[in-house]
Structure 1
Amino acid sequence: MPDDDLIIRTARSEDERELAVLNHAAWSILSDVSPQPSVEAPMFDERHAPEQFLLAVLDGRIVGYIRQVPPTPLASNRHVRQIQGLAVDGTVRGQGIGRRLVEAACAAARAEGARKMSLRVLGWNDPARRLYEGCGFVVEGLLAEEFLIDGRYVDDVWMARRLTD
């Protein structure tokens, strides 16, 4: 896919319905610890503001999103951002959209003065782990058997990337 066909932009309130449909469709036992959200479930509320989401738009259609936020409200933690959601439409996976979203989120966090980007990923989610490793993230910790999903215990892997040189 040519780079100029894909637009990365901040979400707007009017994107909520299309984003909810994507969020529902992208849900997977591989990546999610919560039940599949309804297509009617709101994406935006007092803790999930549109400006926290970057969208990947292809031919006028939202095909991916990433959400990055401060992990805590503490001043001592202000230099860190955390990815708390990444989804790419199944019809366009494997085309580099996830990588573009991760890089855009890191660039936005760096522009806001962040020094580190962190995230959590399920241990059995090999595609996501490869994506993050390819973007320079390293494992910083692991919570063994943190979740019981579909009858299996799954590790919670903490990864991070420095945003400074």
Structure 2
Amino acid sequence: MPDDDLIIRPAQPEDEHELAALDRASRSTLSDVSPEPPAGAGVFDERHTPGQYLLAVLGGRIVGYVRQVPPTPLAANRHVRQIQGLAVDGAVRGRGVGRRLVEAACEAARAEGARRMTLRVLGWNAPARRLYESCGFVVEGSLAEEFLIDGSYVDDVLMARRLLG
């Protein structure tokens, strides 16, 4: 299926079931620190609303998502957005879907007046770090051994990209 048929669009409430299935299928200790949600759990709640998600749709099927939100409710950093979730279906990885999602999230944040996009990525997640770096993100800091995952201590790497001027 040609990737030029890829559509990036905002999530809708009716996308929840398919989005939750993609989220469960893409979970990995490479990228996830939170416990796996219970079987049948959705993704939307009072803190995770459809408006925070952009979806990648190919052939009528959701093949990826990115979630970007203000990192805090404080007015003092209203100019910042944070990517708090990115997943791409394994069947289409390596075809630019992740890049399109990251760029779409940055463009949406810029349209809302944001000046910076930030994110946190596990130090051992080399594929994600390469993707973010290729999209213009730079490492701004690291929290050494922040997480203990499967018996290994893993750094939490803080990355950011300027969106305006």
TM-score range with shorter-chain normalisation? Answer: over 0.9
Do residues 92 (structure 1) and 92 (structure 2) align? yes
The match for 2:21 is 21
Residue identity opposite 1:119 in structure 2: L
Give me the whole-angstrom Cα distance separating, in 2, the residues matched to 1:19 and 1:27.
12
Moved segments of 4+, more than 6 Å: none
Residue identity opposite 1:53 in structure 2: Y
Greater mean alpha carbon deviation, residues 35-44 or residues 67-76 = 35-44
Contact residue 23 and residue 37 of structure 1 kept, 8 A? no
In the TM superposition, what whole-angstrom CA distance separates every residue of 1:18-60 from its partner, at most 9, and x where no partner exists?
0000000000010000122344112111111101000000000
Aligned length: 165
- TM-score, normalised with respect to structure 2: 0.97
Give me the whole-angstrom Cα distance separating, in 2, the residues matched to 1:90 and 1:36.
18
Structure 1 residues without counterparts, runs of 5 or longer: none
1:84-123 correspondence to structure 2 within 5 Å: 84-123=84-123
The match for 1:54 is 54
The match for 1:81 is 81
Contact residue 69 and residue 83 of structure 1 kept, 8 A? yes
Give me the whole-angstrom Cα distance separating, in 2, the residues matched to 1:6 and 1:51.
20
Structure 2 residues without counterparts, runs of 5 or longer: none
Give me the whole-angstrom Cα distance separating, in 2, the residues matched to 1:2 and 1:115.
33
Give me the whole-angstrom Cα distance separating, in 2, the residues matched to 1:29 and 1:109.
28
Deviation at 1:3, TM superposition (A): 4.9
Identical aligned pairs, as a percentage?
79
Give me the whole-angstrom Cα distance separating, in 1, the residues matched to 2:110 and 2:141.
23
Contact residue 20 and residue 39 of structure 1 kept, 8 A? no
Give me the whole-angstrom Cα distance separating, in 2, the residues matched to 1:39 and 1:15.
17
Give me the whole-angstrom Cα distance separating, in 1, the residues matched to 2:33 and 2:44.
19
